Copies of this chain bind each other. A is one copy, B any other.
């Protein structure tokens, strides 16, 4: 369709952290002749215009997708149905629709039931982000050296899947292709459960009436602060992820709770061997993550030395 990965018009629906980062990266790499950006909120559109995220910032979905040959949906999962319905009759022939959502199975069912088999929806999920939200938090380098997972339909055209693959490679990512079911299980354990647990522990600490909130904040460097980072991620986005990937998330909560009961019992009964064994095994996983280049080896994520200023 396009040689040298050049699109005439790319529409980016949603201009939060991921949408704005994609917009900036597309601009940087000159991947499209024009980029239209859509955001529901006036404030987001105003910021997007001010920082020149797109050639044109639209307040109507229909205008944004008109004549686009690539549409990238970067909004919370609960908005997909409405978006599919709104754009369905305004699509250019041969358009490819993709997304960046953190859960795949349910949104792919929605896409298929609304858009049908003839419109190409090639779902993608860049494993990248920060705890920040909004159009001003994006940056073009966000996807460099990160993974992006594509979960095509069985009927997806191979050349279109390849095009999305090339797009993400151009943005700096390595691409893996897998089924939506496998994606949703992998992400449930690597991303969704950790976020739910982080939200939960911060919530537990905030509710503790005999220990003041100021104590919790003051002594947070002893472990707690690590959890507050991911527990400050976008509430709407995460509400939608848990509900969209409900089945896998509930399974992981079940497994986590079982394991926690084992630890709880070991603490209660002074079962030193069980505690030591589990704590030694977990240490090995960190080493593997660092060896795989998925985290830095600096003490305390490199923060300790930053405290010295």
Contacts and interface: CB of A to CB of B under 8 A. Distances in A.
Interface of A: 78, 102, 127-132, 137, 141-142, 144-147, 149, 176, 182, 185-187, 189-208, 210-211, 213, 215-233, 235-236, 238-239, 242-243, 246, 249-250, 252-253, 255-257, 259-260, 263-264, 267-268, 270, 272, 275-276, 278-283, 285-289, 292, 294-296, 299-308
Contact of A199 (B130, B278, B289): B278
A221 B306 CA distance: 22
Contact of A299 (B132, B147, B257): B132
A268 B246 contact: yes
Contacts of A202: 282, 285-286
B282 A142 contact: no
B289 A204 contact: no
Contact of A306 (B191, B289, B302): B302
Contact of A201 (B193, B239, B303, B307): B193
How many chain copies does the complex carry? 2
Nearest to A295: B225
Contacts of A215: 186, 190
Interface residue SS majority, chain A? helix
A282 B199 contact: yes
B280 A235 contact: yes
Nearest to A304: B130
A289 B217 contact: yes
Contact of A222 (B190, B238, B255, B270): B190
A186 to B, nearest CB: 5
Contacts of A201: 193-194, 197, 256
A295 B228 contact: yes
